Structure formats: C-alpha cells, structure tokens
Amino acid sequence: MTTKLEALRSEPPSLAREGVAFEGVGRHYSSRRGDTAALEDLDLRIGNDEVVSVVGPSGCGKSTLLELAAGLQEPDSGAVRVAGSGAPAGRLERTAYMPQRDGLLPWRSALDNAALALECGGVGRAQARRRARPLFARLGLERFERALPGELSGGMRQRVAFARTLLAGREVLLLDEPFASLDSITRAGLQEWLAAILAEEPRTVLLVTHDVEEALYLGDRVVVLSARPGRVVAEIAVELRRPRPRRDVVTDPAFSALRQRALEALAW
C-alpha cells in the first residue's frame, strides 16, 4: 500500500548532468533567543535545466535553502553541491541569487544597479549599460533608468533586482519570491516572460514562491516543504506541455488537480 507521502512524491528527472543537490542538509541558527532549526535532513535534487518551485509555510527555511545553494551559508550537516561543486566559492560563481530583500545599492541608478552584475564580471560600465537597457525596456522600466532605488516603488525595485540577476548570466538562478510585490497583472506578464526566456535559453532554476499557481505555472516540479524545520514533504511533477499560455493553463482541469495536490501537501 502506498502512503500519502509516497503518492505525493514523483521521480526527479535524470541527473546525468547534475544541477543542484542537497543531501541530508541540516541548518540551525544560534542567537540570543536560543537555537532555531531551520532545515533538517533535507534531500533535494534539481536536474540540469530543470525549473523547481519551492513552496512552504513562512519561516520553514526557504531563503536558507537558497543561501546554501548560493554559497552564502554552510550546512551544519549534509552537503550542498552546484554543478558538482561543494565549495562555497564554487557555488557562488555558478549561481545568480535574487534575495527576498532586493539588496540594491542606494547610491547607484536603477540601470547601474542592474549593470553591476556585468561589471562584476569585468565588463566596462558603458557596455554593461548598453546590455542592460533592452532588459529594462522589457521589464517596463525604460523611463526609470536614472532613478535611484529610493525613488522606485517596491515592484519596480524588484524588477531591477530581477534584471541584475538575469544579467549575471549564471547557469543556476536562485529566485526568492521574485514577483512578490507586483500587482497581479504585471506579475502574470512577467511569469509568461520568464517562461519564454527559459524556453529560449534553458537554465537550472530554484524558485521560491508563496503562490501555488506561480509555482505550478513556472515549475517542472513543485517541492513542498514542511513547517520549520523544513523538509521535503511532497514533490509534484508538473506534466503540462510547454509553451504554457497562461490563460489556457490556469483553466485546464489538470492544472486545478495539481493545485489541489499542492494545497493538500501544504496543509499536511
């Protein structure tokens, strides 16, 4: 007899060219208020060019998971590898991380914040700006190139941070709630746009979101984490053909069934 957990799990894709692997990962934080177990015995593999969405209750360790992949934190137990590299520097140079807080530099213009991703890779500022401009236009930011982050709305700042992440040109994208403070129309448009970019130029993506529909629409697989300490309680393969025109997908009965499975796993 299959258990509920087994029924919710599905096989990850081939790991012949490994993307990201978490093996028995534990991460605890110590502070004046005591010890907090953020993640415990977490196993997760993301295949090359696979898009995996992660959902789970607030505080279950989703941002911690991304920081571990990005090489910004080390696990207390277990191992994290990105394209075969377990060293923090190796993970750092293979990933582009978009943090939940945008981390824009307040003294740099919006365009120069995005261009920074290229400048860090040795591209001159003028050329970096030239390459960042088309992305700005696509993100609806063309009139705000010279604005400072303090002059932008939360949603605009998020789009600038998103541009910076894409421009870094890394093989693995780690996106922490990339569209969280956008209105629903802009958000839906950017989801379609990201899906189109990934179709043209596949990347390995770990996407954290609170939005189950977004998780399903963008993901090849949706991973559901338990409440803190986070562990994987369900892995749901999203076997919907691509391209996925948003309006057709969200009204598809197969999509509704997947949403139901994800919501049940979240309530578990």
- Member of 9, 13, 18, 36 binding ligand ATP (CB under 6 A): 36
Interface stretch with ligand ATP, choices 53-61, 75-83, 135-143, 146-154 (CB under 6 A) = 53-61
Give the Cα separation of 202 and 48 in Å (integer): 9
Q: Is 206 helix (H, G, I), strand (E, B) or coil?
A: strand
Shortest distance in whole angstroms from residue 174 CB to ligand ATP: 12
Shortest distance in whole angstroms from residue 57 CB to Mg ion? 11
Rounded Cα distance between 91 and 67, Å, is 10
The mark string for 226-265 relative to ligand ATP (x by CB under 6 A, - otherwise) is --x-------------------------------------
Please report the sign of the dihedral spanned by the C-alpha atoms of residue 88, residue 206, residue 113, residue 127: positive
Rounded Cα gap, residues 205 and 53, in angstroms: 8
**Smallest gap, in angstroms, from Cβ of residue 85 to ligand ATP?**
22
| Residue 69: contacted member of ligand ATP, Mg ion, none (CB under 5 to 8 Å, by partner type) | none
Could you tell which of ligand ATP, Mg ion, none binds residue 228, using a CB distance below 5 to 8 A set by kind?
ligand ATP
> Closest approach of Cβ 138 to ligand ATP, in Å?
27
**Side-chain-facing half-sphere of 264: CA atoms under 13 Å:** 14
Contact between 73 and Mg ion (CB under 5 A)?
no
Instruction: Tell me which of 20, 25, 38, 139 binds ligand ATP, using CB under 6 A.
Output: 38
DSSP-based three-state secondary structure for 59: coil
Number of C-beta neighbours around residue 197 at 10 A: 14
Q: Which of residues 185-204 bind Mg ion (CB under 5 A)?
A: none
User: Which span (3-11, 52-60, 135-143, 256-264) binds ligand ATP, by CB under 6 A?
Assistant: 52-60
d(CA 24, CA 42) in angstroms, rounded, equals 5
User: Should residue 53 be labelled a site residue for Mg ion when binding is judged by CB under 5 A?
Assistant: no
How many of the chain's residues bind ligand ATP (CB under 6 A)? 13
26 CB-contact burial (10 Å; exposed 0-12 / middle 13-18 / buried 19+)? middle
Q: What are phi and psi of 94, to 5 degrees?
A: -100, -5
Angstrom CA distances, 51 to 34, 112, 144, 220, stand at 35, 28, 30, 5
Give the interface with Mg ion as residue ranges (CB under 5 A). Answer: 62-63, 100
Give the interface with ligand ATP as residue ranges (CB under 6 A). Answer: 29, 31, 36, 38, 58-64, 100, 228
